[in-house]
Amino acid sequence: MKHAAILMSAQISISRWIKQPSSSSSPRLMQNKKTVHQEMKTQQFLCINSQSISAIALTMSLLLHSLSLASGTSALHPIILIPGAGGNQLEARLTTKYRSTNPICELTALTKRGNWFRLWFDPSVLLAPFTRCFAERMELTYLPTIDDFRNAPGVETRIPLFGSTQSLLYLDPHLKHFTEYMGPLVSALESAGYVDGRNLFGAPYDFRYGLAPSGHPSMVGDQYLRDLGELIESSVAANDGRSVILVAHSLGGLFALHLLDRSPLSWRRQFIKHLVTLSTPWAGTVQEMLTFASGYTLGVPLVDPLIVRGEQRSAESNLWLLPARRVFDEMPLVFANNRSYSAKEMEEFLKDIGFEKGVYPYETRIRPMVDRAVEIEGVPVTCIVGSGVDTPEKLFYGSKGFDKQPEVMFGDGDGTVNMESLLALEKDWSEAGRKNLKVVKLQGITHTSILRTRVAVNKIVEEVGLINSMDFSSQLGS
């Protein structure tokens, strides 16, 4: 009873804090470059004003953990973390079928052939001679004869440590400071009582691949959904039947949504407690059009974007992340060659940038998935998104064409995903009359800092605590 009283007190405190109006100003569109100083001030302001809420949330999670220990069982719902594109390690092995026209790539292959090595993330990608080797080994090929994507000839890949969070913490364990990904979030969840391999799991995947609509094969993507489904079921079985909380970042949110959409309602109700998405691009991003047109290096100065452009174009998942017409409609997004391109003219855009072979898989495999709104019954969803960060909204190409980086006009979003896309699920579901969706906006939080900034991580833990507390409230009241 003592534990119960403390727990209920914490829940009441949180409810009072949540009802307080937000003091953050509405985001505004800006055409100039980011002002780092202003963003830092915004984050500092948020940290100060959210400390009390976060402290209560963390305390509640710890109280939940204490209560579970007192009862002799783990009372927390298990969590499965699903990373975004590039958010987990990827290993490769070269076979005798591997060939390269680049002498350096052929030479390095001699030491790698037959042995597994880390393909992503490998710091050698930052060195120009090895960037090309990385790009050709990462490249996918669409094969019309089988209507599916495959690795480059002679390249085998695998995902290490499926089921564990270990491959999500850092992209390279030897460069933890520079390649940290979900490390801070996992640490915060562990402080709240979660244990890797017991009630906390990771579901890494080959993020180059995507999914396909009904009637089209997707060997890698479909296998991942099967593996994820089995991980969910085994996690529930290992935690006395408590259903799973899925926490998915970016592209991982799309995989999670489609898994639920393709599963029976009875399965969802039995195995899924809640879906929490972080920075998920429900309708693609304008940034992806820049990637296809000119290549994108995430701001790394030593890498030539044209070297990695071909590999980026080949990724099935990147086609999935192009702006969807159901949200961006006829809004002009790219200006080049005395014309403009909207989301409704994506096929023409792909042709004009010199990637005509991407048109057919885009039309047949991608559009049937992104042109419709995906609705799922039986699973509540919480979307946590960043806002108020300069995000590419329109791209302007000059006389030198798509081989040069464009001038960029910025709008609102999280620095990578446009606000229209971040809120697309809310728009889709509100029009359909769905009410089991909650949206949380974090001013000044970027696409990746949502996983490591204290105010964002604490907010995620707070939401997890609230989801867990729902069961405890009913138990205490009975």
pLDDT in tens, 341-382: 999 999 999 999 999 999 999 999 999 999 999 989 999 999
Is residue 250 flagged as an active site residue? yes
Catalytic residue among 414, 421, 428, 469: 414
Write out pLDDT tens, residues 203-242: 999 999 999 999 999 999 999 999 999 999 999 999 999 9
Is residue 23 flagged as an active site residue? no
Write out pLDDT tens, residues 214-225: 999 999 999 999
Catalytic residue among 54, 235, 250, 387: 250
Using CA atoms, how far apart are residues 122 and 140, in angstroms rounded to an integer? Answer: 18
Tell me the DSSP string of 85-102: TT-S-EEEEE-TT---SS
Is residue 447 flagged as an active site residue? yes
Handedness of CA 105, 107, 113, 118 (dihedral sign): negative
How does strand 244-249 pair with strand 272-278?
parallel
Instruction: Fill in the amino acid letter for 57.
Output: A
- Residue 296 tokens read as 């994108």
Going from the first residue of the chain to its last (478 residues), give the mean pLDDT of each consecutive group of 10, the final group possibly shorter: 35 35 38 40 41 51 50 76 97 95 91 90 85 95 98 97 96 89 97 97 98 97 98 98 98 98 97 98 98 89 90 98 97 96 98 98 98 93 98 96 97 98 94 85 98 97 94 45
Catalytic residue among 122, 447, 449, 469: 447
Average pLDDT along the chain: 86
pLDDT for position 257 = 98
Handedness of CA 286, 290, 291, 296 (dihedral sign): negative
Using CA atoms, how far apart are residues 25 and 89, in angstroms rounded to an integer? Answer: 38
